[in-house]
Amino acid sequence: MIRDVLSGEINKAIKILYPNIVYQVTVVRTSNSEFGDYSFAAMDLTSRVGQNPRQIAEEIRKKLMDSGNFNKYVAKTEIAGPGFLN
């Protein structure tokens, strides 16, 4: 349920930020609680968008922070490693 909501909100953000990109988001449970509960790898979008994956993750994060629905489920977001949005 929550993973579906998060995936949907990230998909919406990507469609707004990159309207010419066709992409289906995969949100996964993290294997380590230090990284939060769920994670999305922005690295998959690098070749399609032509930006650094950390930049992509940050743009998506900013767009998500404007979403009331996203904020109902998420207390904190952070960019980690090469471009994970946790």
- Tell me the domains of the chain and their CATH numbers: 2-85 (3.30.1360.70)
* pLDDT tens string 21-74: 999 898 999 888 888 889 999 999 999 999 999 999 999 999 999 877 788 888
Please report the pLDDT score of residue 66 as a whole number: 87
Please report the pLDDT score of residue 34 as a whole number: 81
Residue 24 burial (10 A CB sphere; 0-12, 13-18, 19+): exposed
